[in-house]
Structure 1
Amino acid sequence: MSLPLLVFSDLDGTLLDHHDYSWQEARPGLDRLRDIGAGLVLASSKTGAELRALQADIGCTGWPAIVENGAGILWPEQDAGAEDGDYRRIRAVLRDLPPGFIGFGDLDDAGVARLTGLAPEAAHLARLRQHSEPGLWQGDADALPAFLRAAEAAGLHARRGGRFLTLSFGRTKADAMAEVVAALKPRRTIALGDAPNDVEMLDAADFGVVIANPHAPPIPPLPYETGGRIVRTTKPGPEGWAEAILSLTTAPG
């Protein structure tokens, strides 16, 4: 029996509330997905260890998750905390780059907790990296361009987030999404997100949903938006998420 629908969802500000990180207002949409036999793939900057706990809470442990902003995929049977070769290679490259970058791998749990504001237990899960290395540039500001050029020459891709500079081998959420779709072969896909780093994923889905985010500048108009392939919610966070899922799963086709 083929999979009727596979949903790819960003977390913070999308499936999770911007303030308290609750997903409870999304419950009507989550119930609808279960009722129609659809799958839910969480897509986040979080590590596999962080997402495995959230999958259990939400009830979607049987599905893969896109981790570390697309740098990797956590498959259902995979050990979420096992060290991956990608991370070892990134750390090895860093040893040969100009100094100044301090990554999570240079800190203990307490250090990451201080840096992020996470509780020590959550900081431990955030340090279980498999595919990417977030951190801060603490060297001279004038030396950062040389560091970035050296990183690129060594095969690393640097992406700036709200606070951290993250090094990876350049895979995006859309790249990981394509791999999951090729493996599971759903008849239809929906992607939901609220931030610029979700746009590639929204564009790649059969239907993309921009979740309203009153706490950030709006995502500019996107290709296919006028044709209805990409829609925007009026409500933010998990309430808007449920609104979109209910609407898209009752529409014809």
Structure 2
Amino acid sequence: MQEPLPLVVFSDLDGTLLDHDSYSWQAAVSALDRLAEMGAAVVLASSKTASEITVLQQKMGLSNWPAIVENGAGLLGQNDLPTYGDLRAALDRVPDDLRQKFRGFGDMSVAEIAKITGLPQADAARAAERLFSEPGIWSGTEAERAQFETALADLGVYARYGGRFLTLSFGGTKADQMAEVLSRYPARHTVALGDAPNDVEMLEAAEFGVIIANPHRAALPPLATERTGRIIRTKEAGPSGWNRAMMDLLDRLETKA
């Protein structure tokens, strides 16, 4: 029987482990080093593509672990899900007056993706290499968006807001993929960190959840498990908040051991 890992950490990237403006994770290096020393797994869980996350895993020294990609629509290395081509075909079956109000990455050039994301050209090209989901900009009204989402649902496509974009997929959340990872890598403890509405299921599924402060977006509403202390909020934003929260949690877990 496989020996459980001491800890598996599931972490969102943009605005959480990565600084919102600089995309740097350097403020979290001390906590990442401590996690590596204890043999904990750090599973990146992001709206980013497999191509983008693979590069980040290599730079962070996390290539030995799985990663949740495209907002939970897929798991890095898993190829038995509907393809991006299927998703684009379904999108083009939506009534034209609604379809025209959604501009997805597949409708944009790499230069346009770089402009709206603030990514360098090479990184924007990797963001365009999609396998499971389609992020985009919605330009219609809220009522029209509801009609758009209903039309997509009839085709088996789900829409949800992540950080900056309305993202379409055939389903699957970060929490769904989290369960799959844990079936492969059982752990004594689990922690999830995030800052956006699409992180909520993951935060609630973990033993400990951490809402990272992000002054660039509206704060998440209070979650039920915050009252019990299972979910906490940071005062510091981005990787600084990530680092402090992880250090504090590791101290708590060592005290309990």
Q: Fold match, TM over 0.5? A: yes
The letter of the residue matching 2:14 is D
State the alpha-carbon separation in 2 of the partners of residues 182 and 95 from structure 1. Answer: 36
Aligned position for 2:232: 231
Match of 1:245 in 2: 246
**What is the CA deviation profile of residues 160-192 of structure 1, one whole-angstrom value per residue up to 9, with x for unaligned ones?**
345432211121111111111112111210001
Deviates more, 1:160-169 or 1:234-243: 160-169
Looking at structure 1, the residues matched to 15 and 143 of structure 2 have their Cα atoms a distance apart, in angstroms, of 34
Q: Is 1:125 matched with 2:126? A: yes
CA distance in 2, matches of 1:235, 1:56: 26
- Answer yes or no: is 1:222 the counterpart of 2:219: no
- 2:251 partner SS: coil
Alignment-derived partner of residue 97 in structure 1: 94
* TM-score scaled by length of structure 2: 0.87
User: What displacement does 1:221 show?
Assistant: 2.1
Q: CA RMSD in A?
A: 2.3
Unmatched 5+ stretches in structure 1: none
Q: Which residue of 1 aligns with 2:197?
A: 196
Tell me how far apart the structure 1 counterparts of residues 187 and 241 of structure 2 sit (CA, whole Å). Answer: 24
Pick closer, same or farther for the CA change 1:106–1:232 going to 2, 3 Å: closer
Q: How many residues align?
A: 248
Gaps of 5+ in 2: none
Residue 22 to residue 117, structure 1, CA distance change in 2 (3 Å): closer
- My pick for the range that moved more, 165-174 or 99-108, is 99-108
Question: For residues 151 and 228 of structure 2, what CA distance do their matches in structure 1 show?
Answer: 43
- In 2, distance between residues paired with 1:136 and 1:230? 31
C-alpha deviation, 1:30, in angstroms = 0.4
Which runs of structure 2 are paired with 1:62-141 in the superposition (5 Å)?
62-75=64-77, 85-99=82-96, 100=100, 101-137=102-138
Q: 1:10–1:194: 8 Å Cα contact kept in structure 2?
A: yes
Cα 1:128–1:84 shift into 2, 3 Å: farther
Report which stretch shifted further, 124-133 or 153-162: 153-162
Q: Aligned pair 1:21/2:23, yes or no?
A: yes
Relative to the length of structure 1, the TM-score reads 0.88
Please give the secondary structure, in 2, of the residue aligned with 1:249.
helix
Preserved CA contact (<8 Å) 2:27 2:240: yes
Aligned counterpart, 2:182: 181
Listed one character per residue, the Cα deviations across residues 135-169 of structure 1 (whole Å, up to 9, x for unaligned) are 23467987654433221101000113454322111
Contact between 1:211 and 1:236, CA under 8 Å: does it hold in 2?
yes
Question: In 2, are the aligned partners of 1:188 and 1:206 still within 8 Å (CA)?
Answer: yes
